Copies of this chain bind each other. A is one copy, B any other.
Amino acid sequence: MSGGLDSATVLYLAQSMGYNCLCLIFDYGQRHRKELRAARSIAESASVEYEIIKIAFPQRGSSLLDKRLKVVSNVGKDILIPPTYVPGRNIVFLSYALSFAEIHKAQAIFIGAHAHDYSGYPDCRPDFFRAFRNMVRLGTKTGVEGKPVHILAPLLHKNKAQIIRIGKRLNVPFELTWSCYRGGRSPCRVCDSCHYRAKGFAGAKLRDPLIHDR
């Protein structure tokens, strides 16, 4: 769980499906540290357990980790993969979750990835999830025994407005979520994450509780 509204929505969705959840919150040196606090608050609001896991990603190669790089807007630019891409991020997160899931005998791992707005991230696409599931089936004890941990990405084909509508119906506390990559006092409203969030709320015809316009 990241602290953003996608993973918050996925948590509430999993709960509504009857799952007893344990949230994994990854502290991987992201510059928007604020999302860690947001993630904890969301877990508490849902009354579920969480674990904070420190991961030593090399602090290079991504503008989300490397403080020497600026977070710039990439909206509308003709680039395949945005500079905020963190090499192997979802792969590492899912691998960890897999280890936890096998130990806790969990049935499923939920992840808030979606292929819509961020089609540039290779580890957010349907092909990747299919390949990861296949690897789980072949490379884990439970997989080999015919009961692989399910990897569920229920928002994969939703856009931000649809996700916000789903979250609204589930009473997700959007005021506790944090999306801005810059992690300042209030959302920068410029970075890609702010851009898609604003577009999503506009599309869902809802007000973002984090934005206070005069």
Which residues of A pack against B, CB within 8 Å? 53-54, 56-58, 60-61, 80-81, 85-92, 94-96, 98-104, 122-123, 125, 127-128, 130-132, 134-135, 137-141, 143-145
Contact = CB atoms under 8 A, between A and B. Distances in A.
Given A103-B60, A131-B131, A131-B134, A141 B87 contact: yes
A56 to B, nearest CB: 6
Contact of A53 (B56, B94, B130): B56
A99 B89 contact: yes
A123 B46 CA distance: 35
Contacts of A96: 88, 92
Nearest to A52: B56
Given A131-B131, A135-B132, A135-B134, A140 B99 contact: no
A87 B96 CA distance: 9
24 contacts: A54-B54, A58-B100, A58-B103, A58-B104, A61-B102, A81-B144, A87-B140, A88-B95, A88-B96, A88-B102, A89-B99, A91-B98, A91-B99, A91-B135, A92-B92, A92-B99, A94-B95, A122-B143, A122-B144, A127-B138, A128-B138, A131-B135, A131-B139, A135-B135
A104 B87 CA distance: 10
B61 A140 contact: no
A131 B122 contact: no
A132 B139 contact: yes
Contacts of A61: 102-103
Contacts of A102: 61, 87-88
A135 B95 CA distance: 12
A144 B115 CA distance: 15
A86 B96 CA distance: 12
Interchain residue pairs A-B with the least CB separation, the first 6:
A88-B99, A87-B102, A128-B139, A61-B103, A131-B135, A95-B95
A30 to B, nearest CB: 14
Contacts of A98: 87-88, 91-92
